[in-house]
Amino acid sequence: HFFLLHRAIHWGPLYRWVHSVHHNSVNPSPWSSLSMHPVEQLGYLGVAFWHLVIPSNPILALYQLHYAGFGAIPGHVGFDKIELSEDRSVDSHAYIHYLHHKHFEVNYGDGLIPFDRWFGTFHDGSKEAAARMDARYEKKKARANAAAAK
């Protein structure tokens, strides 16, 4: 749900009118996870409305609404790891989403299902991933220039 919705709102007009509100936060923070246009908020939290149509356990409905409401916060914390001790840390997974805010056209998913890897939009911060992103961008620019020349 999240990958498809997020990918769709990166399409030109929807990005301009809807998702650009969220991307005003170039350096994400926990508050920017909730910074959304009302249309985006409806799509994002709308997954919980299925429970009104399809009978389900109320605890499951509350869990899904809670996850939709607060699940994006860890991806916007602004740091990569929580250090527990000198040799132990917990990965916040925020760096991947930070790269999405920095480059816009990578890391659309939340990582639970590897859609970004499958569709070639995964960026882990490595030089190889940056080269793949640059190559994809150059192809896209060439297509746009060819279309404009017609």
Identify the pLDDT of residue 9: 92
For residue 8, the model assigns a pLDDT of 92
- The CA distances from residue 35 to 17, 40, 55, 96, 149, in Å, are 14, 10, 31, 19, 38
pTM: 0.77
Confidence (pLDDT) at 17: 92
Instruction: Determine the pLDDT at residue 14.
Output: 92
Say what the pLDDT of residue 15 is.
Answer: 92
Residue type, 93: H
Give the per-residue pLDDT at 101.
87
What residues does each domain of the chain span? 2-122
- Residue spans of the chain under pLDDT 50: none
Question: What is the predicted pLDDT for the residue at 33?
Answer: 84
For residues 109 and 115, the answer to whether their CB atoms sit within 8 Å is yes
Q: To 5 degrees, how large is the angle CA 109–CA 111–CA 116?
A: 55
